[in-house]
Amino acid sequence: MLTKRIIPCLDIKDGRTVKGINFVNIRDAGDPVELGASYAKQGADELVFLDIAATNENRKTFVNLVKDIATHVNIPFTVGGGISSIEDVAPLLEAGADKISINSASVKNPQLIDELAKAFGSQFVVLAIDARKVENQWLVHTHGGSKPTDKKLFSWAKEAQERGAGEILFTSMDHDGTKQGFANDPLAKLHELLSIPVIASGGAGNKQHFLETFVIGKADAALAASLFHFGELSIPDLKNYLRTNHIPVRI
């Protein structure tokens, strides 16, 4: 079994790390540069930076903030928010991003996935999918979860893989911030459907939830935010717990 990854997520708004519940009720969670550096020291496997207001505010990701964070971390660093063209990517690469995450722009223009994969390689392209269960269907949402679309989670993930995405970051909007556990049923289905890695996001509340998403959800990585930001769980404690339960992790 490949090593499972633990990934803290920095949701950024107005230059600060924030966290909400079900994509609303946003509250401040601290300085992103300090948090990023702390997680790298704790043994996080990767870091995700999402400028959650960039698309709604019709602007690009804060490049200077990306640069500040990159200088303080020594682990792979994924950046997303407001990326809608190849031209948007070069400044982020120069600022220190190792991968980019696309979401809303790719739903509007799926060809963007092909273009980015061709220009930079599939391993560089993470497709983020925010989805909510509506009448027994997992529907994709864009613009920070505020706009429902007619795209279905599983067919969209499959199409993204075929277009060249190297990884899927699936966030269950129904589970986000609830601390009731990850959406393991759709995660397991994504695992069966795809040959690329799937990152579980939304719902982490304790160590057991991570164990369950690796065993039941078959996730390749698990992402969390508030649980780490507010000191409820440390990455070393989590990894020791997972290793004790026979989940391969990098210590």
- Looking at residue 127, its pLDDT comes to 97
Which of the four pLDDT bands, split at 50, 70 and 90, describes residue 17?
Answer: low
pLDDT over 90 at 138, yes or no = yes
Residues in Cβ contact with 172 at an 8 Å cutoff, skipping those fewer than 6 apart: 131, 132, 182, 183, 186, 201, 202, 203
Nearest to 225 by CA among 249, 250, 202: 202
Domain boundaries of the chain, sorted by first residue: 5-244
What is the DSSP annotation of the chain?
-PPBEEEEEEEEETTEEEEEETTEEEEEEE-HHHHHHHHHHHT-S-EEEEETTTTTTT----HHHHHHHHTT--S-EEEESS--SGGGHHHHHHHT-SEEEE-HHHHH-THHHHHHHHHH-GGGEEEEEEEEEETTEEEEEETTTTEEEEEEHHHHHHHHHHHT--EEEEEETTTTTT-S---HHHHHHHHHH-SS-EEEES---SHHHHHHHHHTS--SEEEESHHHHTTSS-HHHHHHHHHHTT--B--
Nearest by Cα to 153 from 123, 181, 183: 183
Lowest mean per-residue pLDDT among 10-14, 176-180, 235-239: 10-14
What's the pLDDT at 30? 61
Which segment of 76-90, 148-162, 183-197 scores lowest on mean pLDDT? 76-90
The pLDDT, as a whole number, for residue 19 is 52
| Residues marked as catalytic | 11, 130
- Work out the average pLDDT over 192-203: 97
Q: Given a cut of 60, is residue 27 above it in pLDDT?
A: no
Mean pLDDT to the nearest integer, 48-71: 71
Position of tokens 């679309």? Answer: 149
Q: Helix 153-163 crosses helix 111-120 at what angle (to 10 degrees)?
A: 40
Q: Does 185 score more than 50 pLDDT?
A: yes
pLDDT of the residue at 18: 63
Which tops the pLDDT comparison, 186 or 177? 186
When pLDDT is averaged across residues 148-172 and rounded to a whole number, the result is 97
pTM recorded for the entire structure: 0.90
The mean per-residue pLDDT over the stretch 161-175 comes to 96
Q: What angle do CA 131, 201, 20 make, to 5 degrees?
A: 80
The mean predicted confidence, pLDDT, of the chain is 89
Q: Quick one: pLDDT at residue 23?
A: 42
pLDDT for residue 244 = 98
Asked whether residue 60 carries a pLDDT value surpassing 60, the answer given is no
Give the separation between CA 82 and CA 66, rounded to whole angstroms.
Answer: 13
pLDDT, position 15:
59
Distance between CA 232 and CA 226 in Å, rounded?
Answer: 8
What pLDDT score was predicted for residue 182?
Answer: 98
Q: Can you tell me the mean pLDDT for 230-249?
A: 95
How many other C-beta atoms are found inside a 10 Å radius of the C-beta of residue 59?
Answer: 12
The pLDDT value given to residue 21: 47
pLDDT cut 90: percent of the chain above it: 65
Yes or no: say if 141 and 148 are a contact pair by the CB < 8 Å rule: yes
Choices 3.20.20.70, 3.40.50.2000, 3.40.50.300, 3.30.1330.40: CATH for 5-244: 3.20.20.70
Task: Give the whole-angstrom CA distance, residue 14 versus residue 56.
Answer: 13
